[in-house]
Amino acid sequence: MLGNFIYSNPTKLYFGDDSLKYLANELKNYGKKVMLTYGGGSIKKNGIYDEVIKILKDSGKEVFEVPGVMSNPTVEKLYEGCKVAKENDIDLILAVGGGSVIDYAKAVSVSAHCESDPWEKYYLHMEEPDNKIIPVGCVLTMVGTGSEMNGGSVITNHEQKLKIGHVFGDNVMPKFSILNPQYTLTVPKYQMTAGFFDIMSHIMEQYFSNTDDNTSDYIAEGLMKSLIHSSRIAAKDPQDYEARSNIMWTATWALNTLIAMGKSTDWEVHMIGQAIGAYTDATHGMTLSAVSLPYYRYIMSSGLAKFKRFAINVWGVEANGKTDEEIASSGLDEMEKWMNEIGVVMNITELGVKEDMLDGIADATFLLNGGYKTLTKQEVIEILKKSM
């Protein structure tokens, strides 16, 4: 490990099928006014809403609901939540849902008391909050983003055709998150599978950078192996609690800052995926799966030693008698088999991308330099064409 860093993560986690019982105790730490935010209604169908409302009422809280947070939350929805939070002087934002709802809660948290336009301040200009931040707590219902233990908050502006994430600091990360694997068992298979690939992508984005020997990479390999193992089980039987429970825990550690320590990290797949999301509103994890193989095959020669290590340590590729290129390629071939096995989307055409969007998507893709190769706009277009 050659990098220097400061590490802290303030989010308190409650994990397990009895974890909601700890909510009442957490609520004691905050004032009376709670903004309860959630998605399009899944929590009403599976009963989580009723359980949470009961605890809030029994705790004497005044509840202000902001329902209808869509996947890929929009800037217009952000303004709506800010109004509710500011006008009612909210003490705690309780997010009950997946990454979209939690990202949204963080965006409202920093924006409600912001004097200027939050989209411009936090997303276009990447400024840090200098106003009151409303604390956020979570009850996680869908696994993938890691939003439950990180500072990430992704907002989409359809008018400007931009989907941008801001990674806020410790002061914006959830104060607590309740992780009950049982809650994830009602997630539709398409969303579940997208979440699995999102986890894999988060780990790869951090793993495929730098050349020094770093403990973070060994942890990343362990997380990938656990994910591959459990996702195969869950793809066959989504109701397998043990597999879903392991995946929930893996997702949290895949993107809670730990495995990025001492690393520059890549994130180019996410940049391309977010640009596709801005144009198509497609499911996040599928935007990543659809471009990952063409991207990694394109950059493989620039980070050959790491791709060889990935093939051997993560996919168990037999190295004997093969060149480094052959070993590295076999690793990506194994990954392709796994992707087909769990059933992720393998091309961007299926997500609604048309040939005439490619130039715009490439323009909306931020080009980063933390990975093994810094792309040009033309190279992004080439990768998109290979992903069609």
Residues that bind Zn ion (CB under 5 A): 198
Burial 123-142 (b: 16+ CB within 10 A, else e): beeeeebeeebbbbbbbbbb
CA dist 344 and 347 (Å) reads 9
CA dist 367 and 220 (Å) reads 24
252 binding partner (options Zn ion, ligand NZQ, none; Cβ < 5 to 8 Å by kind): none
Nearest distance from C-beta of residue 291 to Zn ion, angstroms: 12
Which residue of this chain has its Cβ atom nearest to Zn ion in the complex? 198
The yes or no reply on residue 81 touching ligand NZQ (CB under 6 A) is no
The yes or no reply on residue 255 touching ligand NZQ (CB under 6 A) is yes
Among 46, 264, 265, 313, binds ligand NZQ (CB under 6 A): 46
Q: Which residues contact 94 (CB under 8 A, 6 or more apart)?
A: 34, 35, 36, 37, 52, 56, 105, 136, 137, 138, 139
Nearest distance from C-beta of residue 155 to Zn ion, angstroms: 14
Among 11, 100, 246, 252, binds ligand NZQ (CB under 6 A): 100
Nearest distance from C-beta of residue 194 to ligand NZQ, angstroms: 6
Judged on CB neighbours under 10 Å (0-12, 13-18, 19+), 8 is: exposed
* Contact criterion met (CB below 8 Å) for 317 and 311: yes
16 binding partner (options ligand NZQ, Zn ion, none; Cβ < 5 to 8 Å by kind): none
* Contact criterion met (CB below 8 Å) for 138 and 148: yes
Among 82, 134, 178, 187, binds ligand NZQ (CB under 6 A): 187
* Contact criterion met (CB below 8 Å) for 307 and 297: no
Closest to ligand NZQ by CB, 153 vs 209, is: 153
Q: Which residues contact 332 (CB under 8 A, 6 or more apart)?
A: 293, 296, 297, 300, 307, 311
The yes or no reply on residue 91 touching ligand NZQ (CB under 6 A) is no
Nearest distance from C-beta of residue 152 to ligand NZQ, angstroms: 2
Angle CA(271)–CA(135)–CA(173) in degrees, nearest 5?
Answer: 35
Query: Roughly what angle, to the nearest 10 degrees, separates helices 268-280 and 284-299?
Result: 140
Nearest distance from C-beta of residue 162 to ligand NZQ, angstroms: 12
Nearest distance from C-beta of residue 136 to Zn ion, angstroms: 19
165 binding partner (options ligand NZQ, Zn ion, none; Cβ < 5 to 8 Å by kind): ligand NZQ
The yes or no reply on residue 142 touching ligand NZQ (CB under 6 A) is yes
DSSP secondary structure string for all residues of 224-258: HHHHHHHHHHHHH-TT-HHHHHHHHHHHHHHTSSG
CA dist 366 and 165 (Å) reads 11
The yes or no reply on residue 210 touching ligand NZQ (CB under 6 A) is no
CA dist 353 and 364 (Å) reads 14
The yes or no reply on residue 230 touching ligand NZQ (CB under 6 A) is no
181 binding partner (options Zn ion, ligand NZQ, none; Cβ < 5 to 8 Å by kind): none
**What's the token pair of residue 237?**
């039987």
Among 19, 150, 289, 365, binds ligand NZQ (CB under 6 A): 150
The yes or no reply on residue 97 touching ligand NZQ (CB under 6 A) is yes
**What's the token pair of residue 86?**
């500011």
How many beta carbons lie within 10 A of that of residue 248, not counting itself? Answer: 25
The yes or no reply on residue 42 touching ligand NZQ (CB under 6 A) is yes
141 binding partner (options ligand NZQ, Zn ion, none; Cβ < 5 to 8 Å by kind): ligand NZQ
CA dist 202 and 198 (Å) reads 6
Closest to Zn ion by CB, 11 vs 292, is: 292
The yes or no reply on residue 104 touching ligand NZQ (CB under 6 A) is no
Among 75, 94, 101, 162, binds ligand NZQ (CB under 6 A): 101
Nearest distance from C-beta of residue 238 to ligand NZQ, angstroms: 11
Closest to ligand NZQ by CB, 191 vs 206, is: 191
The yes or no reply on residue 169 touching ligand NZQ (CB under 6 A) is no
The yes or no reply on residue 166 touching ligand NZQ (CB under 6 A) is no
84, amino acid identity: V
Q: Which residues bind ligand NZQ (CB under 6 A)?
A: 39-43, 46, 71-72, 97-101, 103, 141-142, 144-147, 150, 152-154, 165, 183-184, 186-188, 191, 195, 198, 255, 270, 284
